Structure 1
Amino acid sequence: MMIVLISVGMMIVLSLLRVNVVLAILSAGITAGLMAGLSPNDAMTMLLNGMGDQAETAMSYILLGIFAVMIGYSGITGVLVRTLLRFLRGKRGFLIMAIAAVACLSQNVIPVHIAFIPILIPPMLHVFDDMKIDRRAVASALTFGLKAPYMVIPAGFGLQFHQTIAEGMAAAGMNVPKGEIWQAMVIPGLGMAVGLLTAVFISYRKPREPNPQTSAAADSSDLEETPEPSFGLKHMFTIIAVLGALIVQLVMGGSLIYGALTGIILLFVFQVVPFRYGDELAGDGIKLMGMIGFVMLTASGFANVLEETGAVDNLVEKAVDAAGGAGLVTSAVMLLAGLVVTMGIGTSFGTIPILAALFVPFCLSVGYSPLATAALIGTAGAMGDAGSPASDSTLGPTSGLNADGRHHHIWETCVPTFLHYNIPLFLFGILAAAVL
């Protein structure tokens, strides 16, 4: 049990001390292997072997970065920036909630996950600076949209999440129809909504001055003095490329790699991006998203060490044994175990099967209902996804908000989302287990 607690705690502390996230996760992974009795070489080998599990995701991120930079080169982002400045000036709350709504669509209606962030957010950084928007509020809005919909709505990624819960519970001996999982997740979903409203309208409501010494964004006055670009043929071709990327992604079963490649090829074919600039723009795209992709690879290796050594199973078993009978304390202990596990593994989808296999027998023995058990499993899996340095729900927002180098992944994405979402998830998860 101590392997998970110490290694995950090390990762969090090092990250908070502003140690590079990759180095923090790498140190935590090696420490976990050594504590499990592995030699340094065996611990490193196990970590490296696990990195392959996220190779597709890392490549997707890099290609999306290249696609995003090429879209910016087309000039369509300039049209977007000036339009927003004209119609949304002074309406900070409205703009942030609109971003949250767009993020929600990415999980269920148009399941592109984080693919929209490096395309939509970087050109809006000018707008955020002009309106003095606190980027921590934007990070909270994006994370809400990346998490809450799949927790509650049984469509797109939400259908996959609910199916994972139902299959994990069935394999452990408790059956609950996949179509009823949403009922168990409504109350935790309300907790997410409370966290969003708190972040946007209380915690980060006040205007926040951008730092002009480090800002790579253009001054708002320069934006206003520059003649407004007209919508031209290359902008239309850019929109066609974006739609083409989306269609191919959906046709290919949600593959971000095929979608991004399609968009890049179309931008070249339509001569929106001249071939002579392709190498330079690809380099810029790798700079934008390469770090994010490498974090995902390292986190996958860390998760492999925790799982292969049996540390995760042991932690959950110890937590369940210490819980006692059904009640508020028991629910709290199980949710906290899920929080620690997901912080280390970095994905709620990967945590659910582990938690279901260990939670269900205990819930059966102490009398939890199927819906209460589903609520505990789903909430425990989702906890930690917001706030984990290695989660899509935090890496995605940072990839867009840090495009100008002015947004810190840990202190301005992970800490705000951890506080505003894990706390209400914990409280509302206990409530859901008590009333269902």
Structure 2
Amino acid sequence: MNSVVLAVLVMVTLSMLRVSVVFALVVAAVVGGVAAGMPIADVIGAFNDGLGGGASVALAYATLGAFAVALSRTGIAQRLSARVVGHLGRSHHQRGELALVKWGMLACLILAGFAAETIIPVHIAFIPILVPPLLHVMNRLQLDRRLTACAITFAITVTYMSLPIGFGTIFLNDILIGNINQAAAGSDLSVSREMAPQAMLIPALGMLAGLVVATFSYRRKRVYEELAVAGEHLEARSTPLSVRQLVLIGLSLVLALAVQLWTGSMVFGGLIGFAVISSSGVIRWGEQDDVFTQGMRLMALVGFIMIAAAGFAAVMKATGEISTLVSGSVELIGDNRGLAALVMLLVGLFITMGIGSSFSTVPIIAAIYVPLALSFGFSPLAVIALVGTAAALGDAGSPASDSTLGPTAGLNADGQHDHIWDTVVPTFLHFNLPLIAFGWAAAMLL
């Protein structure tokens, strides 16, 4: 068995057995490296070399967690949540009214995800700020959090893979189109930026179909305990905020975004936001260390998984068996275009699930997939759809992807949302399977 496939299977199996995802990634990296014939010292060396690639992301999420807890100390989000809960609890409500609140909240989270990927490019940074205070509302509505996880993952994934705005500009224009043209150098194939949204439209419809199915799958009520949300034990502010404090809180949000866009660093954006809120007097000087530590704990799991995932990806690249996986698959294809498209998508699923990032997967598979697709006579639009979908496959549904880690970080703020069974498995079933079907259809129709 190919070492990359074996490593991914080990990682997924251990994760589903409720073994720590960090531990699963480390064990899977060792198994994959040894299976590829690498000396154990080389496996450890490659893993250690790759760890640095996830360190900056982990630090960014830690500072954003601190900023999120600092915002929670203002009491603004809690007051909004309390008003909704109070309104729902004061009297008997018709089912239609409760449904309106439920679907309205889910729609707002989806819109927030769209905005976080486009006009306010903060990616998953909005989740630890917006989601934890709403958990009380979700508990009152008995809303299945698996549906919320699917809604958030849908928003942050379908946007970058179909719209050339914000993160979509990076994925579609810079990474996808750029790598396809580079891989096609010397051939007759040339693709332009305008072709990417058109090629990715059908796969994006697959994501939408998956979300519709998820609303049916998780339509029934699910009971959660009313537990304290992370950071609430620090006692959110109950006294009215002064005008100065409100101005500084608003300024912290603006500066956090502006600094992130200016420097390209979520770390500095989160730190500036935390510093401005601290200067408002909402957090007493002696409490700042506790608040910052609590915020880092909120996102600690995300950070450690991202670091371990970077090490895992480095080992998989060092094995040299990613290209072997693709070339070995070609032998099974023959001259069947439909089977060729399906195999390329399935291989892309395995690669992305292991690496955990569709952005990092494109450069790896484009160099192999583009010549292969051209040899089967696929059109330029079909080539874009194949490479783009193969890369996006596994982003939703990977234990090490920020598209699943982000929703878990927010929904598990009270310890009642399991990363694997409540986020990874639902998003894998509802998004990866439709993506395979719709991505295959795009390759055959375009």
Matched ranges for 1:7-406 at <5 A: 7-85=7-85, 86=87, 89-90=98-99, 91-163=101-173, 164-173=175-184, 174-200=189-215, 202-211=216-225, 215-217=227-229, 232-233=242-243, 234-253=245-264, 255-325=265-335, 327-406=337-416
RMSD in angstroms over aligned alpha carbons?
1.9
- Distance across 2 between alignment mates of 1:18 and 1:31: 19
Q: Kindly indicate whether the alpha-carbon contact (under 8 Å) linking 2:370 and 2:383 is maintained by their aligned counterparts in 1.
A: yes
- Superposed CA deviations along residues 285-341 of structure 1, whole A, max 9, x for unmatched, are 121111210100000000000011112221122223422335222111110000000
Are the structure 2 counterparts of residues 320 and 231 from structure 1 closer, same or farther at C-alpha, using a change threshold of 3 Å? farther
Cα distance in 1 between the residues matched to 2:329 and 2:361:
15
C-alpha deviation, 1:185, in angstroms: 0.1
Whether the 8 Å CA contact 1:342–1:381 is kept in 2: the answer is yes
SS of equivalent to 2:110: helix
Contact 1:79 1:229 in 2 (8 A): no
Q: Secondary structure at the match of 1:152?
A: coil
Number of residue-to-residue matches in the alignment: 425
Matched, 1:424 2:434: yes
Shift of the alpha carbon at 1:216?
2.9
Q: Could you state the TM-score of these two structures normalised by the residue count of structure 1?
A: 0.94
Does the Cα contact within 8 Å between 1:79 and 1:231 map onto a contact in 2? no
TM-score (norm 2): 0.92
Q: Which amino acid aligns with 2:429?
A: L
Matching residue's letter, 2:81: V
Distance 1:430 1:131, change over 3 A: same
Contact 2:54-2:307 at 8 Å conserved across structures: yes
The code of the aligned residue for 2:222 comes to: R
Match of 1:223 in 2: none
**Aligned partners of 1:59 and 1:257 also within 8 Å:** yes
Identity of aligned residues (%): 43
**1:363–1:373 Cα contact (<8 Å) kept:** yes
Matches of 1:159 and 1:172 in 2, distance apart?
19
Q: 1:397 to 1:144 in 2, by over 3 A?
A: same
CA distance in 2, matches of 1:179, 1:265: 42
Give SS of 1:325's match: coil
Paired with 2:306 and 2:158, the residues of 1 have a C-alpha distance of 21
8 Å contact from structure 1 (residues 78, 229) kept in 2: no
Q: CA, structure 1 residues 208+232, in 2 after alignment: closer, same or farther (shift >3 Å)?
A: farther
Matched to 1:138, the amino acid is T
- C-alpha distance in 1 between matches for 2:36 and 2:380: 35
What secondary structure is seen at the aligned counterpart in 1 of 2:120?
A: coil
Classify the secondary structure of the residue corresponding to 2:18.
coil
- Secondary structure of the 1:93 match is helix
Q: 1:316 to 1:229 in 2, by over 3 A?
A: farther
Specify the SS of the correspondent of 2:194: helix
Superposition deviation, residue 33 in structure 1: 1.4
5+ long unaligned stretches in structure 2: 89-96, 231-235
Return the letter of the residue paired with 1:195: G
Higher mean C-alpha deviation, range 334-343 or range 1-10: 1-10
CA distance in 2, matches of 1:275, 1:229: 18
2: CA distance between counterparts of 1:284 and 1:393? 22
CA 302–246 in structure 1, closer or farther in 2 if over 3 Å, else same: same
Give structure 1 stretches of 5+ with no counterpart. 219-225
Distance 1:397 1:106 in 2: 13
